[in-house]
Amino acid sequence: GRTFPNREIAHFLSRLAVLATSCRQRREDDFESTSWWEFIDAAEMSPAYRKHLARSTQSLVALRPEDGSARTVGSIYLQLLFGQLDPDRPAERVLDGPTSDVWLDPWAAYLRDQGVTIHTDAPVTAIESDGERVTAVVVDGERATADYYVAAVPVEVMADLVTPELERAAPSLSGTRRVDTAWMNGVQFYLDRDVELATGHAVFLDSPWALTAISQRQFWADHDPSERSNGGVEGVLSVIASDWDTPGIVYDKPGRECTREEAVAEIWAQLQAHVGTDVLPDEARVTHLLDPELQQGEDGLRNGSPLVINTVGSLHHRPEAGTAADNLVLAADYVRVETDLATMEAANEAGRHAANAVLSRSSVRARPVQTWGLEEPSVFDPLKRQDELRYNLGLPHPGEASHDAWRLARSIAP
């Protein structure tokens, strides 16, 4: 339960108000170099404040509040808050069917229809460069050349593909080595019953592995899992674990050190510990699918697909979509875009900027693709403009005066 005093809620809201009314430059300079933990003074607050208002970042984006930039976490917090307060904006959007059915397969079909040839199981093993441009990519030992190259691979893969020549051609790629990643992997439990849990995502704040879950069936209007399973499966529970470093409750070891089977058993046990075995009895389980990117290594699991995290200062390492190599663009979630969080939206926004970079560099005459950033209510605009003036004069945000007074009072009477 929540047991933090009202003055702590007021303090948290005052910090959010400072963020909401700060100009862009202050956010990018000052708040990007401050952790969320520091920004909201979590160290000074009650355990409940830390758990509910600081540590929730771990469950949502696999980011420890001590590591996450105040700019990123705060901006996303504001988005979540605005989404909940504004009746015209959905607080959360989920797919209305299995991802392959309602998204990936139709998308691949559309691309093929447009003349795209998709080669699967064809990893790029090298990007060749003469120090000015990309000259070829190597796929399965074969060199392939093109007018333009769109790198849409994960950041850790891109970092490994950057050679000294490529870095000379596109210096911003050096930042890919400094972007951090964390483990955030999921398991789907196929159940013989539909267990709704919550009408959206459920966050298990007390679970050592920072679990979140969504019960899918309620959103799948036209997709009946029982039809695909001869009636055996009535419910699908997707669960994500975002902390693979904290020991669990069954094997007393972190997820990284578990086997695949142990990880699944641990996640199931942590769910049961929260909702009860009457809601999720063992016999409800028909089968499960653990993220195949988690592979068994000698001393635990290896993760083939970690998630980009926005640690303090990481904004400055993230390259823009258009690189200095005029035939190389980047379209992935680590690219520096307005959607400041590793998400499908960020990857999509990067893809749009990549397309526009190609258009502006080529002789193709076409209208640029539309792009958009995160929206914040315009009511804050005058205060942001005022703060911009103050920032340019080297002055602190007006809200920092009361923060300084609060700090002083704490130091006198902690």
Ligand X SMILES: Cc1cc2nc3c(=O)[nH]c(=O)nc-3n(C[C@H](O)[C@H](O)[C@H](O)COP(=O)(O)OP(=O)(O)OC[C@H]3O[C@@H](n4cnc5c(N)ncnc54)[C@H](O)[C@@H]3O)c2cc1C
Chain residues binding ligand X by CB under 6 A are: 123-124, 152-154, 157, 184-186, 240, 307, 332-333, 342-345, 347
Judged by beta carbon, residue 123 or residue 377, the one nearer ligand X is 123
Nearer to ligand X, 186 or 254 (CB): 186
CA distance readout (Å), 387 to 11, 23, 41, 71, 161:
20, 6, 22, 16, 42
Place of tokens 């209007």: 221
Least spacing, CB of residue 140 vs ligand X, in Å = 10
Burial of 344 (0-12, 13-18, 19+ CB in 10 A): exposed
What SS3 class is residue 189? strand
57 vs 185, which CB is nearer to ligand X?
A: 185
Closest to ligand X by CB, 21 vs 69, is 69
Residue type, 153: V
Q: How far is the CB of 311 from ligand X (least distance, A)?
A: 16
**Least distance (Å) between residue 343 CB and ligand X:** 3
Q: How far, in Å, CA of 102 to CA of 97, rounded?
A: 6
d(CA 110, CA 118): 11
Burial class (CB in 10 A: 0-12, 13-18, 19+), 178: middle
Closer to ligand X by Cβ: residue 154 or 225: 154
Closest alpha carbon to 149 in 305, 315, 270, 323: 323
The residue (of 133 and 201) whose beta carbon lies closer to ligand X is 201
Instruction: Give dist(CA 148, CA 361) in Å, integer.
Output: 10
CB 64 within 8 A of CB 57: yes
Asked if residues 206 and 179 have their Cβ atoms less than 8 Å apart, the reply is no
Closer of 375 and 381 to ligand X (Cβ): 375
- To ligand X, the closest distance from the beta carbon of 45 in angstroms equals 29
Least distance CB 103 / ligand X (angstroms): 11
Q: In angstroms, what is the minimal distance from the CB of 362 to ligand X?
A: 22
Tell me the closest approach of the beta carbon of residue 146 to ligand X, in angstroms.
14
Number of C-beta neighbours around residue 338 at 10 A = 14
CB-based contacts of 272: which residues, under 8 Å, 6+ apart?
A: 280
Minimum distance from residue 258 beta carbon to ligand X (Å): 17
**Among residues 184 and 211, whose Cβ is nearest to ligand X?**
184
Query: How far apart are CB 137 and ligand X at their closest, in Å?
Result: 9
**H or E stretch covering 322:** none
Name which of 170 and 307 has its Cβ closer to ligand X: 307
- Contact criterion met (CB below 8 Å) for 400 and 38: no
Instruction: Kindly report each contact of residues 275-280 with a partner whose C-beta sits within 8 Å and lies 24 or more positions away, as own/partner.
Output: 275/195, 275/197, 279/195, 279/197, 280/195
Q: CA geometry: angle at 402 spanning 401 and 407, to 5°?
A: 100
Least CB distance from residue 271 to ligand X, whole Å? Answer: 16
Comparison of 35 and 181: residue with beta carbon closer to ligand X? 181
- With a CB cutoff of 8 Å and minimum separation 6, the contacts of 98 are 216, 220, 223
